[in-house]
Chain A
C-alpha cells in the first residue's frame, strides 16, 4: 500500500495555512502514525488524502491513483473515521455498521453479518440492539472504528480513534489494529504518544503544517540530541550540566535527558552514592518534547536512516 504527496499545501479561506509543501512517500503495510500539536494539520492531511477536501496546491496519491482526478477509484480502496464522526443516535450499533457497509456496496445480509463480527471484535456485541444514543462516549468512538474496520478497505484512515477510550479499551483497540495491519495501511492520528510509538511502524511529526520528521522510532531517536533518559529516585540527587536536560518530576524523582556517553558517565557516581536509577532510551514523548517543546533544538542531521 502506498500514499504519496508532492508539495501538498492547503490554505483555508485565504488565511490559515494548514499544510505547507508536504512531500512524503510511504510504501508499506502497517500503521502510519501522525502526531503533532493541536492545529498542526493532521486532520487536513487525512481529509485531503481521503478525497473529502481539495488541496490548494500540490498533489496526493493513494496506491498511485490521484486523489483529485481519480477520486472514484481511490474511494474503492479507502475507509475513514473522521475526527468528529458520531453514530446517528437513532440507529443501533448494528444498524450503524451495516448501513455504512451497504453504502460501500455490500448487500443487506452481508452487511449484517460483517457488522455483527465487527461489533464482537470491539466488544460491543451486547450493545448491538440498543440505540446508539445510550452508548458512552468511548463506546461511540469504538463503534465508529468498528464501522470502518468491518469494510475490507486496504487503506484505513483513523483520525484520533482512541480519544476518550479507557486504558484497557485502548489496548484492546491496539491489538485489533495490530491484527488488521498485516495486509493494510492504517493511517492513525493520535495525541497519545505512547500509542503512536507502540503502534507506529512509521511516525510522522507535523508542526504548523510542515513535516518535522518521519521515520520509525529508532530513526527519530537517532536524530535528537538527547536520546537517553536517566531516571533517578532519590531526594539527594542534584546536578547541573549544560549538555544535559534535568527535569525534576517530584521530590524523590528526577529525569535527566542526555547523550549515551553523558548519561552512562553518571552511572558510577550514582552507584557509589547508592541511589536507585534506571537508564532508558528516550520515548516518543521525550523526542516530541525535544522537537517541539520550548525551543529545544534538533540536530541538523539530515541522513535518512540510522
Chain B
C-alpha cells in the first residue's frame, strides 16, 4: 500500500477510534452491552439451550452495529463538525475514507469482539472449516453494514436524522430476524419475511455450522449467493452512488 494511503487510513483510525476511546471509555461498555443484553435474555429464556446460537448471533449483531455506529459517527463528523467537507476537498478519496473508518469501527469493538470470540470458543462446537466459514460470513455482513452505514451517512443533513436511521436499522437487521434464535422457530408464511433481511442469510450460514439449522448444500450455496449479492450491491452504492460531493 502506498505510504500516503496508509497515512490517510491511519488518520481515520486515530480520530474515530483511538483518540475517541481514550477520551470516552464509557462507549466501550456501551458497544459490549447491546449484544450482551439480548444474549442474556435469549440464554435465560431458553434455559441455556440457545446459548450457542445467541453467541454467534451476538457476533453478527456486533458486525451490524459497526455499520450503524459508523453511520452515526460519520453523520456527526459531517453535519456537526463539517469535517467531511475538509476531507472531501482533500486528497483522501471516499474509498480510502470508508476503509479507514471501517477499520476504526473494528478497533472500537476489539474489546467486545474479544469477549464474544472467547464466549464462542467455549460454548460453540464447530470444526476448523466451520470456524473459517463463520469468519467469512462475519466479514461479509460487516462489509454489508459498513457500506450501508456510509451510504446513508452521506445523505443525512443532521444528527437527529441519523439517529432515526440507526433506530430503524438495528431492530430490522438484528433483533427481529433470526439472528439470536434458529430460523426454524419462525412458522412458515412468516419465514419468507425473515428472508428480506440479509442478516437472515448470514445467520443461516452460521447456524448451519453450529448445528442449529440443517441446510442442504443447495440452500447453503444459495444463502451465500444472496448474501454476497446484497453486499455487492451495497458496496457499489457506497462507492458510486453515495453523496460524497453535495448537489
Interface residues in chain A, defined as those with a beta carbon under 8 Å from any beta carbon in chain B: 47, 50-54, 71-72, 75-76, 78-88, 90-91, 95, 99-100, 102-108, 111, 131, 147-148, 157
Binding-face segment, B84-92, B110-118, B124-132, B205-213: B84-92
Q: Give chain A residues whose Cβ lies under 8 Å from the Cβ of B12.
A: 103
B86, chain A: closest CB distance, angstroms: 6
Instruction: Decide if A90 touches B19 in the complex (CB within 8 Å).
Output: yes
A204-B138 Cα distance, complex, nearest whole Å: 55
Instruction: Decide if B11 touches A72 in the complex (CB within 8 Å).
Output: no
Instruction: Decide if B88 touches A105 in the complex (CB within 8 Å).
Output: no
A266, chain B: closest CB distance, angstroms: 51
Interface residues in chain B, defined as those with a beta carbon under 8 Å from any beta carbon in chain A: 3-5, 7-8, 10-12, 14-15, 19-20, 23-24, 77, 80-83, 85-93, 245-247
Instruction: Decide if A99 touches B89 in the complex (CB within 8 Å).
Output: no
Chain B interface mostly: helix
Q: Give chain B residues whose Cβ lies under 8 Å from the Cβ of A102.
A: 7-8, 10-11, 14
Q: Give chain A residues whose Cβ lies under 8 Å from the Cβ of B87.
A: 103
A105-B12 Cα distance, complex, nearest whole Å: 12
Task: Given contacts A50-B85, A54-B246, A85-B86, list 9 more A-B pairs with CB under 8 A.
Answer: A47-B85, A71-B245, A80-B85, A81-B86, A88-B83, A90-B19, A103-B8, A103-B91, A147-B86
Instruction: Decide if A105 touches B245 in the complex (CB within 8 Å).
Output: no
> Among A50, A91, A105, A148, which residue has the most Cβ atoms of chain B within 10 A?
A105
Residue of B nearest to A53 (CB): B246
Q: Give chain B residues whose Cβ lies under 8 Å from the Cβ of A82.
A: 82, 85-86
A91-B246 Cα distance, complex, nearest whole Å: 27
A105 touching B8 in the complex, CB below 8 Å, given contacts A51-B245, A52-B245, A54-B247 = yes
Contacts across chains A and B counted by CB atoms under 8 Å? 98
Instruction: Decide if A90 touches B24 in the complex (CB within 8 Å).
Output: yes
Q: Give chain B residues whose Cβ lies under 8 Å from the Cβ of A84.
A: 82
A95 touching B19 in the complex, CB below 8 Å, given contacts A51-B89, A75-B89 = yes
Instruction: Decide if A52 touches B88 in the complex (CB within 8 Å).
Output: yes
Q: Give chain A residues whose Cβ lies under 8 Å from the Cβ of B85.
A: 47, 50, 52, 80, 82, 85
Q: Give chain A residues whose Cβ lies under 8 Å from the Cβ of B8.
A: 102-103, 105
Instruction: Decide if B90 touches A75 in the complex (CB within 8 Å).
Output: yes
Q: Give chain A residues whose Cβ lies under 8 Å from the Cβ of B92.
A: 103-104
A268-B19 Cα distance, complex, nearest whole Å: 70
The 4 closest A-B pairs by CB, nearest first: A102-B11, A105-B4, A90-B23, A85-B82
27 contacting pairs across A/B (C-beta < 8 A) = A47-B85, A47-B246, A52-B88, A53-B245, A54-B245, A75-B91, A76-B91, A78-B89, A80-B85, A80-B86, A82-B86, A84-B82, A85-B81, A85-B83, A85-B85, A87-B81, A88-B81, A88-B83, A90-B23, A95-B14, A100-B11, A100-B90, A102-B8, A102-B14, A103-B7, A103-B92, A107-B3
Residue of B nearest to A78 (CB): B89
A157-B89 Cα distance, complex, nearest whole Å: 10
A107 touching B86 in the complex, CB below 8 Å, given contacts A53-B245, A90-B20 = no
Residue of A nearest to B4 (CB): A105
Q: Give chain B residues whose Cβ lies under 8 Å from the Cβ of A103.
A: 7-8, 11-12, 86-87, 90-92
